[in-house]
Structure 1
């Protein structure tokens, strides 16, 4: 039994890329693995099955106040999924609902948080959720933004993009690593090598490079085309859509860019997506 290591991000910010890399690094397969293999490697804190197990009954239809009460027990049960540390994907904001933490510190060993330029997030997330860009901009600035609440998934609380990022990064928990999607793309050896080092791993360079290659966008896109991926949204033709930083420069209107920078400028500046001059220009 091990503690939980959270693999956290706002939706469509690189969480699946991180999980795919870790999957290939730790298992070290000779060939790339199908995307659906990820469920054998990482858990998801949204899966209702853990809450059903904690309750000893189906929780479908239960009020959220009752689901919240089950969260500490459900996450404690997750620690028994593997003998060592247990990696858990989450899109939850680091906050509390009904005075119960969404991420329970008692069972937490550490966390890796991936942040991505919100101007690119909005494009990918709009496609995933079947929304227009303007609708997704609204959603990213909504404090009540959630997903889930289905037969298979409990509600996941996102909040705004800025609140999500700040909640995880302004006062990091022990054993915490924050990284940028853009560095995963543009500085893969340094960034993914840093992830391995953070986890106390010292893989041979050949193994590290193979895990990076097997989790590259081109490879996983081909794997999805061959095998499918259950995390693909019903609104999208594919989960792994483009995977390039800077799409927003050609996809968003100046008005849309200005809205995002106005809504999220402070956190964007913290992570190098906006300079002080641009932040001041969009503050009004």
Structure 2
């Protein structure tokens, strides 16, 4: 999604003759009209008037995707040695898939639990869009709704919709679900992958720690039997 929307928004900003920024935790510059907040940590009180789109995917699918991606990513943070001289990627590659997924779950919880727990679903200036809807058969209607919400009309609205179609994530994710190296950023767009990849112990631990988050964003818990959920 980050790669997808960065491509769309950069070209949209160019077409609007507007300044684009990709941010992590900071507010955009005053002259910025279009920005991407990849980790949903924008300090909204510092932004001023805004309209935004928030994309939410099942955290369990994000965890599975992150596990495979972090096995080979070239992102700098994954290659910085810790106090023992070992990088996150080296630690992930040194363990089997079961433990690697537990590592990824703990990493996800550490960096994302607070933002998910405190996210305001009732902000009238943010349109909540489900990943499933964005990737579904009715996605053209979702594209139109998104740019209507952002206040784009006429040619500007059409530009946004056409860019979404051009970089459509569904077209860009036809990579085999087993391909986790060779620089393939996109694996698969399919929802519910976690059901095939997570073990009952993983699911139990996620629901123990993030069950309230799943429910908040409309994702059903899955009953798990025969597992204590201990790690």
From the superposition, tell whether residues 169 and 200 of structure 1 become closer, same or farther in structure 2 (CA, over 3 Å): same
Contact 2:143–2:161 (Cα < 8 Å) also in 1: no
Q: Tell me the residue number matched to 1:136.
A: 104
Quote the Cα distance in structure 1 between the aligned partners of 2:56 and 2:116.
Answer: 7
From the superposition, tell whether residues 109 and 278 of structure 1 become closer, same or farther in structure 2 (CA, over 3 Å): farther
What SS does structure 2 have at the residue aligned with 1:256? helix
Q: Tell me the residue number matched to 1:271.
A: 217
Q: Tell me the residue number matched to 1:44.
A: 22
Q: Tell me the residue number matched to 1:107.
A: 47
Quote the Cα distance in structure 2 between the aligned partners of 1:263 and 1:236.
Answer: 33
From the superposition, tell whether residues 93 and 215 of structure 1 become closer, same or farther in structure 2 (CA, over 3 Å): same
Deviation, structure 1 residue 24:
5.2
Quote the Cα distance in structure 2 between the aligned partners of 1:90 and 1:261.
Answer: 24
TM-score with structure 1 length normalisation?
0.55
Q: Tell me the residue number matched to 1:185.
A: 135
Contact 1:115–1:165 (Cα < 8 Å) also in 2: no
From the superposition, tell whether residues 208 and 170 of structure 1 become closer, same or farther in structure 2 (CA, over 3 Å): closer
Quote the Cα distance in structure 1 between the aligned partners of 2:197 and 2:130.
Answer: 21
> 5 Å matches for 1:156-171?
159-160=112-113, 163-170=114-121
Q: Tell me the residue number matched to 1:86.
A: 34
What SS does structure 1 have at the residue aligned with 2:54? strand
From the superposition, tell whether residues 203 and 104 of structure 1 become closer, same or farther in structure 2 (CA, over 3 Å): same
Contact 1:93–1:167 (Cα < 8 Å) also in 2: no
State the number of aligned residues.
189
What SS does structure 2 have at the residue aligned with 1:125? helix
Quote the Cα distance in structure 1 between the aligned partners of 2:122 and 2:173.
Answer: 35
Higher relative CO (CA 8 A, sep ≥ 6), structure 1 or 2? 1
From the superposition, tell whether residues 278 and 194 of structure 1 become closer, same or farther in structure 2 (CA, over 3 Å): farther
From the superposition, tell whether residues 86 and 264 of structure 1 become closer, same or farther in structure 2 (CA, over 3 Å): same
Deviation, structure 1 residue 248:
1.1
Deviation, structure 1 residue 272:
2.3
What SS does structure 1 have at the residue aligned with 2:192? coil
> 5 Å matches for 1:49-128?
75=27, 78-80=29-31, 82=32, 85-93=33-41, 103=43, 105-110=45-50, 111-128=52-69
Q: Tell me the residue number matched to 1:211.
A: 163
Structure 1 residue runs without a partner (length 5+) = 1-13, 29-39, 48-70, 95-102, 146-158, 223-234
Per-residue deviation, residues 87-140 of structure 1 (Å, max 9, x unmatched)? 13241546xxxxxxxx15233433322111011000111223334211011112
Quote the Cα distance in structure 1 between the aligned partners of 2:170 and 2:19.
Answer: 21
Quote the Cα distance in structure 2 between the aligned partners of 1:109 and 1:274.
Answer: 34
From the superposition, tell whether residues 42 and 125 of structure 1 become closer, same or farther in structure 2 (CA, over 3 Å): farther
CA RMSD after TM alignment: 3.6
Structure 2 residue runs without a partner (length 5+) = 72-91, 93-99, 175-180
1:197 aligns to 2:184 (yes or no):
no
